[in-house]
């Protein structure tokens, strides 16, 4: 099994990045990841402003998937996420939804027996997730802190162990990079961080020829999801919804109006995050409806 060290990391997703490893379609790869501060915050007297922006949101990779060609889809199965035993959170003025209210603080939060020890009264069950996972754009470069149609910093809390994510291949090899693990995070990511933590992610990556799904798309638990990022949350919500609607019409051959009604009944429109350069929303839809149409994702 290939293992990619966090010493091979990028701050931008770009076709110009040199691959850190090559893997075959259908094989398994381990990404070792730093936290979003490049592991620079180790004590509570180290504040967010002490970390330069050139160290924020490193993503390990990229990995070149042999045989992946522009126009294909990467099927990415999250086989495992292992995190370190302590994580970091920061607040800083001007950052996030409460940026006008909070001051600058750092908290180191230990994890014991699957629970983050937030304070004497509060222990939180961890739910490790991948904040940044994306492929290279066709041209130019996208900072690892930005989510878009290539994936990237989607901060979707349902990208967990057992999830299957579908991302576009825009360049030969796809150039997949992964980083920014959170031991736990709520929808919204209010102060611009989850419980930021280094770790290891094990993925099985398979090339699907062509693109028929509206990407990025995610399957996890009892749900399938379309994920969309845009300048405003309104636009992101609209895009995620339209994408799920077109999935239902194209893949399940549902009638346009019927699919709209069904989304109104069973679709849950949710926020992934509202603090990155673009906002991210997801439309969650129950998998059992797909099954009742005899449809299953590849």
Residues that bind Ca ion (CB under 5 A): 36, 131, 153, 155, 180
Least distance in angstroms from the C-beta of 272 to Ca ion: 10
Least distance in angstroms from the C-beta of 37 to Ca ion: 9
Q: Which is nearer to Ca ion, 153 or 241 (CB)?
A: 153
Least distance in angstroms from the C-beta of 253 to Ca ion: 37
d(CA 179, CA 130): 7
For 212-253, give the DSSP string.
-S-SSEEEETTEEEEEEEESSHHHHHHHHHHHHHHHHHHHS-
Q: Which is nearer to Ca ion, 25 or 57 (CB)?
A: 57
d(CA 259, CA 236): 19
**CB nearest Ca ion: which residue?**
131
CB 164 within 8 A of CB 37: no
The residues near 163 (Cβ < 8 Å, ≥ 6 apart) are: 77, 78, 218, 219, 220
Least distance in angstroms from the C-beta of 251 to Ca ion: 30
Q: Which is nearer to Ca ion, 72 or 155 (CB)?
A: 155
Q: Which is nearer to Ca ion, 148 or 155 (CB)?
A: 155
End-to-end Cα distance, the chain: 23
Least distance in angstroms from the C-beta of 196 to Ca ion: 5
Least distance in angstroms from the C-beta of 22 to Ca ion: 27
The residues near 192 (Cβ < 8 Å, ≥ 6 apart) are: 92, 95, 96, 275, 276
Q: Which is nearer to Ca ion, 29 or 192 (CB)?
A: 192
CB 135 within 8 A of CB 13: yes
Q: Which is nearer to Ca ion, 73 or 149 (CB)?
A: 149
d(CA 151, CA 158): 14
Token code pair at residue 238: 């609209």
């Amino acid at each position: 099994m290939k293992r990619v060290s966090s010493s091979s990391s990028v701050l931008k997703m770009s076709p110009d990045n040199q691959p850190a490893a090559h893997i075959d379609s259908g094989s398994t790869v381990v990404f070792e990841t730093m936290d979003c501060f490049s592991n620079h915050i180790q004590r509570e007297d180290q504040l967010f402003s002490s970390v330069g922006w050139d160290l924020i949101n490193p993503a390990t990779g990229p990995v070149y998937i042999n045989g992946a060609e522009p126009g294909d889809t990467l099927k990415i199965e999250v086989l495992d996420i292992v995190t370190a035993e302590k994580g970091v959170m920061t607040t800083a003025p001007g950052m996030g939804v409460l940026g006008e209210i909070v001051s600058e603080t750092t908290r180191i939060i230990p994890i014991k027996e699957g629970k983050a020890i937030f304070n004497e009264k509060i222990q939180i069950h961890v739910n490790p997730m991948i904040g940044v996972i994306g492929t290279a754009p066709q041209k130019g470069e996208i900072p690892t802190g930005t989510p878009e149609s290539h994936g990237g910093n989607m901060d979707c809390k349902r990208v967990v162990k057992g999830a299957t994510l579908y991302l576009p291949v825009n360049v030969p090899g796809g150039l997949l990079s992964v980083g920014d693990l959170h031991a736990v995070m709520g929808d919204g990511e209010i102060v611009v961080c989850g419980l930021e933590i280094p770790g290891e992610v094990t993925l099985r990556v398979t090339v699907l020829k062509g693109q028929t799904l509206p990407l990025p798309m995610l399957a996890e638990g009892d749900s399938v999801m379309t994920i969309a990022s845009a300048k405003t949350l309104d636009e992101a919500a609209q895009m995620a919804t339209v994408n799920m609607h077109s999935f239902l019409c194209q893949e399940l051959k549902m009638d346009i109006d019927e699919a709209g009604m069904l989304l109104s009944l069973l679709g849950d429109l949710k926020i992934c995050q509202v603090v990155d350069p673009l906002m991210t929303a997801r439309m969650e839809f129950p998998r059992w409806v797909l099954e009742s149409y005899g449809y299953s994702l590849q």
